[in-house]
Structure 1
Amino acid sequence: MIKRFALCYNCLKSNHTADKCRSGGCFKCDGKHHTSIHREKKESFYYNDNPPDKHHQEKKQITQTYPSTQASILPTAIVLVHSLDRAPILGRVLLDSGSQFNFATKSLMNRLGVPTQTTKLTCMALDNANSQTIPVLVSDNVIGSIPSKDLNTDNWNLSDVNLADPDFHLSSPVDILLGVSIVFDIIRSGNKDIGEELPRIQNTALGWVIGGGRAYIKANTEVSMVISGTKNSFVPIEWTEEKSLCEQLFVDTTTRTEDGRFIVRLPRKPNSDQLGDSKTLALGQFLKLEKRFEVDPLLHQQYSTFISEYLELGHMSKVNEKDLDGLNGPVFYSPHHPVFRPESATTKLRVVFNASAASSSGLSLNDVLMTGPTIQQDTFNILLRFRFPKYVLIADLEKMFRQILVHETDCQLQYILWRFSSEEAVSTL
């Protein structure tokens, strides 16, 4: 796109090249290119929309050696698995009530001879008495071998029990992980106790499984956790056409000021021109707010201080009444109200601008704006990565989102009504 329209790689504007561009460089690497087209050399620990090249996969393994200790048994079962009318094969299933999703390994899909895009598998007990069709997410690896080491069960009273996984005590890979939605569906009445501090045996639709209790693990056992920095196929990511349009709009229309600040367009839907009158509702709510000011002078003072800060920092400006008469296209006035944060050390009051308030046509501003992709890193991955280094730095960018400018054409969709005193005329900001 940049080459086709002969745009500058640094600011995405025309009529000059990157070597003659005066705008600041990439915010991520200081290179002479626009931040929106920056590409990391290595994938970081967040979920992507496209699978990275296998040569750029980044994995981190945490290994801890423990002395003699005890651990619980995870319940497993051997089942018949089939899909797409293919012949069933044996597979090893792990019952995990702590998982929200069901997973299957690519190795299992290959053995079944079905595409890895297949999203449903049928698991059947070996006695053919029960079967369950489940949605699955396909991954290279579901979990490490279960158990991590072979267990000595010679003194366990298992002679009269027909387990769904007779070799549960031998360290073996898992083909399918069944999450909480399936686990609770297949549990049946009946359980057995085989001894103090030993696992219990539970009846399920897949047969009797053994789990819980405490199993002795030999000294100097290593427990490892591998975290992959590539696309995590465990988490389904819905990449819609609307999100693609938002991303393309950002690439096509985003510009930067001479000091490097971004200027963005609002991602309007085709029905944005159907916005009705919103000023009447916004005025009504503002007049009600002023009545609160009359009985609560402190609220009025704090509210005025908040709006004044917006004006002083240039994050908001007063609109000339003459300019309002010549506006083209839809206009939206957002009602606003106070939110109190007594736990805050600095700002006890925050003003919320309600873009979800409906106009006279029944549509709000949020209704006519597209929803773009989530660009923040996943909190879970951030917390995991936080544990890797010995030292970490935490910083807060004050009023970060207000540093991004909205294109002047879209400012009329973000109007509010305000006056500092009831003796003044109500102004548009």
Structure 2
Amino acid sequence: MSIATLGGQISDLRPYNIHGLMLRSRFDNNKAVEICGLESETVTASDLPIISETWNLNPIADHIEGNLPRSIEMLIGADHLAQIDLDSQRSFGDILATNTIFGWVFCGPESKGTSLLSSVLYGKVDQLQPATILSRPAESSPNIVLTGVKPRAISDEQHITVMDLQMLWKSESLGLDDKTQEEEKDTLNEALIEHFKETIKRDPDGRYIVSSFLKKLSKKPTELKAVDDEVANYLAHDFIERASPRKPDQMAHYLPIQAVFKTSPAAPLGLKTRLVKDASARKVNEAGLNDILHVGPFLLPNLLKVYIKFRRYKYTLTADIEKAFLQFKVAEAHRTFLRFFWPLGISTNPQAKIVEFWATRLDFGLVCSPFIHCQGIRHHLEQAARSRPKDKEFIREILETFYMDDCVFGSDSFQDAQSKIRVLFEVFQDGHFPLKKWQTNCESLGDFIQKISPVEAPEVKAGKADAKFLGICWNQETDKIHVSVKGALSELSSGVPSKRRLLRGIPQIFDPLRILSPSIIAAKVLLQQLWKTKLDWDSPLTGTCLEAYNNFLSNLHKIEGIALDRHYTLGSEPNRMELHIFDLI
């Protein structure tokens, strides 16, 4: 049986013991109800609240006498309400008293004047996957359902507005609201990491083996061929293989393919294609694969720490693992849950037969993949630090700032930077993690990478004016960083100034280092003022609000060319550093 719960969440399939029960009133033996119940280890972790005021109603169903336990051991569903309700109710402010065959039952919130309940109940929602029946997929936090509030579907325009607001306020918490520092490691996450350490293996070649926890393209021949070519490429590189026939009673799961396209002039057909398996897909009232996979703890480092590392050294370098997820093999026993169908050759042969494949490498689309990848990299680097004591300090530095598949490091010495490049190649090649893409502010180091790289045809970007690192614009020629405001200028300059246009324009500015913060804050203050005036989203701005809007737009043109030195020390590491903080009053 699977249980559908609040918000449309579906539990995994599990067996339950079923019991027939006769519940009899302790006040009248002639009053009883027969029910059928599911056995569960725990109904709720909360204790029964103690009621101090009963308004002289007797008898009370939940009256606690002596040292009797207050644990809740049975939950009766509403389908039995008619059998136990005596059709008598009393109202006392926010409290509703209902007479039942078991006595008077009290429902409602705690009174403002007197404390009726001596305990506070705490509810927690631990969402593994958003329900597919919802109008919108949830983001990082679960949906909250308010009782007594009529649900209302939101339009695409309203959804975009909500996303803009989330982007705007989340950008303020960089380096301050750090989950990796504040969240305690719960027992589940610790168990997941222990399970990972126990099950990760290496094949004879040294590659890691881990255990996992179509769009309609017929009218788009270019995209159809891009997907068909990518499937063939996966097959050629052993990322997938033809699946073995299912054995009798063998469990299996089949995943639909979702293709993600990105325009890339350098790629064949002008499209960069990524195959993503939709592990969230499921039938109505049945669990999908992502519903029964653990997400795992958040292992990415504080992004601000990564940016500071990027700016620390005279010579800075970044390296990217090629096809990072696909460097992990999936244990053979778990591949049966990663099956999918594809008519190989369909782009040239409309009659191509459908072939059953399964993934042999870690799949995009699985909620556990980011954790497995990050924990796999951490595991490998920790082993490398132990086996290479001479390089331990440098490897620990990489471990602390490794961000998904990007690592950043550097040195104030050219020779030391070369030495670190060699070590990094050796360490990552040992785990079959090819460092394909590189960036550096030094063209000589770029040439050195090309010369010693064990990876065929490495992509090295050095001395370029249009580089980026984790969203920051980086001119490698001048070694300066800046914030792009082109998107914001385009949005704010088009159409009539309004609250919605301002909200859409501000999030276009990605400024994690707060380079333009003294100017951007003016727009946020204006948005706050517009919020207080309760002006409609699309009403034209007038008066002082319009003046402030135009002033911000004018300032945005002026600050467009502002750039800072990437290397914040302007020389060797200083003996003394000062931190200056300003605040707006």
- Select the structure that is richer in strand: 1
Could you tell me the TM-score, scaled by structure 1's length? Answer: 0.37
- Select the structure that is richer in helix: 2
Q: Which has the higher contact order (CA 8 A, sep 6+)?
A: 1
